[in-house]
Amino acid sequence: MNTQFPSKQRIERAWYVLDAENAVLGRLATKAAAVLIGKHKPTYTPFLDVGDHVIVVNAAKVRLTGRKEEQKVYRRHSGYPGGLKEVHLKKVRTVRPARILEDAIRGMLPKTKLGKQMFRKLKVYAGEKHPHYAQRPAPLGV
């Protein structure tokens, strides 16, 4: 008996919308990452992108537990000596609030070409409006 693998033409992709208002960042990110990877489907295959599209609205109103609002720091390095850049979460929330959720979800996806392909199916919006009504996204509970 051979194992059946879904082909690219037979993979059906649904659209889901998540509301981040008063949702805990980590719990919301794990739910979104699982849907992007496709772990909720019976046709899940680790080396194929079988996941669905995820739209996250109200990203500016996501909740963090503990003292992360004051203590969490996002770091990146340019590769040059002294090229370390640090930005506190409080500033990221004011400048680009969708980045908080994008970084949390990106960290839960595979660090390969497949992970980048999965991340492209994520759409994050700071407010409650999004331009994807034509895809008829279904609400996804957290």
AA letter at 24: V
Nearest one of 30, 34, 8, 10 to 20, comparing CA atoms:
30
The tally of domains found in the chain comes to 1
Domain of 33, in residue numbers: 13-64+97-139
Rounded CA Rg of the chain: 17
Q: Is residue 32 part of a domain?
A: yes
Looking at residue 114, what DSSP letter applies? H
Q: Is residue 45 part of a domain?
A: yes
Is pLDDT larger for residue 10 or for residue 80? 80
Count CB-CB contacts under 10 A for residue 141. 7
Write the CB contacts of 64 (distance below 8 Å, at least 6 apart in sequence). Answer: 24, 25, 72, 89
Average pLDDT over residues 73-87: 96
> Does the structure show a pLDDT above 90 at 52?
yes
Read off the pLDDT band of 4 (50, 70, 90): confident
Contact 101, 56 (CB under 8 A): yes
> pLDDT averaged over the chain?
94
pTM higher than 0.85, yes or no? yes
Q: Is residue 54 part of a domain?
A: yes
Q: What's the confidence (pLDDT) of residue 10? A: 87
Read off the pLDDT band of 100 (50, 70, 90): very high
Q: Is residue 83 part of a domain?
A: no
Give the H or E element holding residue 95. helix 89-95
CATH code: domain of residue 34: 3.90.1180.10
- Give pLDDT tens digits for 105-116: 999 999 999 999
Average pLDDT over residues 4-12: 86
Separation between Cα atoms, residue 45 and residue 63, nearest integer Å:
32
AA letter at 85: K
Q: Is residue 1 part of a domain?
A: no
Q: Is residue 21 part of a domain?
A: yes
Q: Is residue 121 part of a domain?
A: yes
> Does the structure show a pLDDT above 80 at 1?
no
Q: Is residue 19 part of a domain?
A: yes
Separation between Cα atoms, residue 10 and residue 142, nearest integer Å:
28
